[in-house]
């Protein structure tokens, strides 16, 4: 259970989208140092993309799951992906 909680809640979250901001006309304008952008390769292996997340596919590949769950996925999304 601890491993499940770690996988579910322990990973890094994507940064929220930055909204446009203007300080034009503001009397208190302070310049700060730029934020360091991290490289996706800097994350630990468990926090990287999962192997069943493939680009160009709408749904996960049923072959990567246990047989009962794979059967449910095939029924729900059809077997056309496995081809």
pLDDT at 63: 84
pTM listed for this prediction: 0.31
Assigned domain for 46 exists: no
pLDDT at 28: 76
d(CA 58, CA 54): 9
pLDDT at 83: 46
Assigned domain for 65 exists: yes
Assigned domain for 16 exists: no
pLDDT at 80: 57
Domain of residue 83 covers 59-83
Query: In this predicted model, what pLDDT tens digit does every residue of 19-29 receive, in sequence order?
Result: 888 878 777 76
Query: In this predicted model, what pLDDT tens digit does every residue of 7-66 receive, in sequence order?
Result: 777 767 777 788 888 878 777 767 777 777 766 666 677 666 665 555 666 777 788 889
**How many Cα neighbours within 13 Å face the side chain of 38?**
9
Assigned domain for 73 exists: yes
* Closest by Cα among 18, 75, 6 to 44: 6
Assigned domain for 74 exists: yes
Assigned domain for 63 exists: yes
Please state the domain count of the chain: 1
């Amino acid at each position: 259970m601890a491993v499940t909680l770690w996988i579910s809640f322990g990973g890094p979250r994507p940064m929220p989208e930055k909204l446009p901001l203007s300080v034009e006309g503001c009397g208190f304008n302070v310049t700060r140092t730029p934020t360091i952008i991290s490289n996706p390769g800097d994350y630990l292996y468990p926090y990287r993309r999962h192997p069943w997340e493939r680009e160009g596919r709408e749904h996960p590949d049923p072959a990567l799951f246990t047989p009962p769950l794979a059967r449910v996925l095939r029924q729900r999304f059809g077997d056309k992906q496995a081809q």
